[in-house]
Amino acid sequence: MNLISRALAQTTVPGYKALVCVYLAGGNDAWNFLMPYDQARYDVYAASRSGVYNASGNPGGLAIARSALAGTQISDASGSYALHPSTIDRTGPSQSGLRSLYNQGKLALISNIGTLIQPISKTEYNATPSLRPPQLYSHSNQENLWHIARTTASARGWGGLIADRVRQDNLNQLLSPCISIGGGNRFEVGLNTFPYQMSSSGVTNVSGTGNTGASYQRAVALQQLLDASYPSPYQSQYSDILSRSRDLYGLLNSGLASGGVGNVSTNFPDESLANQLKMVARMIKLSRDTSFNVQHSRQIYYVRLGGFDMHDNLMSTGSNGHANLLLRVSQALGAFWAALGEIGARDQVTTFTMSEFARTLSTNGNGSDHAWGSVNMIMGGDVQGGRIYGNFPDQTLNGPVSLSRGQFIPSTSVDQMAATLARWMGVTSNADLNTIFPNLANFSSNNLGFMLH
């Protein structure tokens, strides 16, 4: 063992693992993120996307010119592909874009993944509506199904249910193993686990309280109220929750303060997703530090980027276009990967994307509409990357696995991806997996194989 490994072993929680969910809200146009590059399949792609976009000659086209994909090619056993040009490195050699991470074997892709009750053919889709997931093409409903990984109503998400089963070795049980920088979400709610919410700038104190003057007097008065006894269980519970919140504020604020253990030096772009991921990196650093009173061995994080509901301006080259959104994702994940390298946590953190659905291949004139099967990313040092998992679909409109506008019937389920991640986190019992994912037994495998260990 080299000196750096020895130093990390002495100062970080052994066996630490974390999942980081990056939610792309609105329905990411995945089929302009991953495209076939060989000429025959590219021609099908371009035709189904209503031709190559040209602002003056074909403003309704949604295909990216094959010549523009030079330098973005990736390979897989199933053929030759390209990633969106926004995914190439743009921040210098110290930070990789998504294409470089794929080629380094640190990024895997899952093709044609979506919400499913069971495997379903196009014939079954047309003949038996009850086999379809409920409320297809609805933003709120499909987001909920991705978060809960089941097709019946539930108040709990698969991230929270995993946390219920793996949190027992976390030292500080007051801090939830589920931490959201992206706001409230169903994904991180379990039976006994509820997400701890914070912002990309850190934790927030109770308004109007502080260390000087009238704000100090208010803080003293609040503490007196919290120290009092209450006959009502509702008052008592509220007091307990607020007390825990203030205690966690004091702890985490000290770790995230200038000079605290939760600082990283990696340079992140100053935009929403990157700022959220920077806070995740800082929280992972202080949570693993054995000198700090968190010392979690399992954590699940949630961040969110909106703007993907692109019925209009999908091909815009401005800040509101899909290209700019993918650039932000690529640069943010590249900076996060660099920060994980800085803190020695690349093998301990697995980052993955979710989005409610992909978008139609065919144009609506200025963008595309709600579809179904999509493409997910999985990034991490323990990821068997440089590969595309699942089946890349025939992109013919109204083809063997697509509907009239290129809405693909998924070949891989959310449940299978989520169960693979759950196994990596330590939930290996088939009984537990089938409880968290009630439809999992309908599929041929609960392990897609993209994790090395």
How is 196-241 classified by DSSP, letter by letter? EE-BTTB--PPTT--SSHHHHHHHHHHHHHHHS--SSHHHHHHHHH
The CB density around residue 129, as the number of other CB atoms within 10 Å, is 10
Residue 61 makes CB contacts below 8 A (sequence gap 6+) with 49, 50, 51, 52, 53, 54, 315, 363
Q: Do residues 324 and 358 touch, judged by C-beta distance below 8 A?
A: no
Residue 301 CA: distances (Å) to CA of 18, 121, 268, 298, 304: 8, 35, 18, 10, 10
Residue 362 makes CB contacts below 8 A (sequence gap 6+) with 48, 49, 50, 62, 368, 397, 405, 406
Closest among 155, 151, 112 to 135, alpha carbons compared: 151
Q: Do residues 329 and 28 touch, judged by C-beta distance below 8 A?
A: no
> Which DSSP symbol is given to 83?
E
> For 396-408, what is each residue's pLDDT tens digit?
999 999 999 999 9
CA 328/CA 269 separation, integer angstroms: 8
Prediction pTM value: 0.95
Number of H helices and E strands in the chain, helices first, is: 12, 12
pLDDT tens, N- to C-terminus, the chain (453 residues): 455 555 555 699 999 999 999 999 999 999 999 999 999 999 999 999 999 999 999 999 999 999 999 889 999 999 999 999 999 987 666 689 999 999 999 999 999 999 999 999 999 999 999 999 999 999 999 999 999 999 999 999 999 999 999 999 999 999 999 999 999 999 999 999 999 999 999 998 777 776 788 877 887 777 777 777 888 887 777 766 777 778 899 999 999 999 999 999 999 999 999 999 999 999 999 999 999 999 999 999 999 999 999 999 999 999 999 999 999 999 999 999 999 999 999 999 999 999 999 999 999 999 999 999 999 999 999 999 999 999 999 999 999 999 999 999 999 999 999 999 999 999 999 999 999 999 999 999 999 999 998
Encoding tokens for residue 417? 């991806």
Residue 347 makes CB contacts below 8 A (sequence gap 6+) with 380, 381, 382
Q: Do residues 303 and 22 touch, judged by C-beta distance below 8 A?
A: yes
CA 226/CA 437 separation, integer angstroms: 40
Characterise 318 by phi-psi region: left (phi > 0), alpha (psi -120 to 50), beta (else). beta
Beta bridge partners of 354: 23
The label of the residue with tokens 């070949």 reads: 411
Q: Do residues 275 and 332 touch, judged by C-beta distance below 8 A?
A: no
CA 229/CA 247 separation, integer angstroms: 18
Q: Is 3.30.450 the CATH number for 16-205+267-442?
A: no
Encoding tokens for residue 96? 């990789």
- What is the b/e burial string over 188-221, where b = at least 16 CB atoms within 10 angstroms of the residue's CB? bbbeebebbbbebebbeeeeebeeeeeeeeebee
CA 86/CA 69 separation, integer angstroms: 10
Which residue type occupies 7? Answer: A
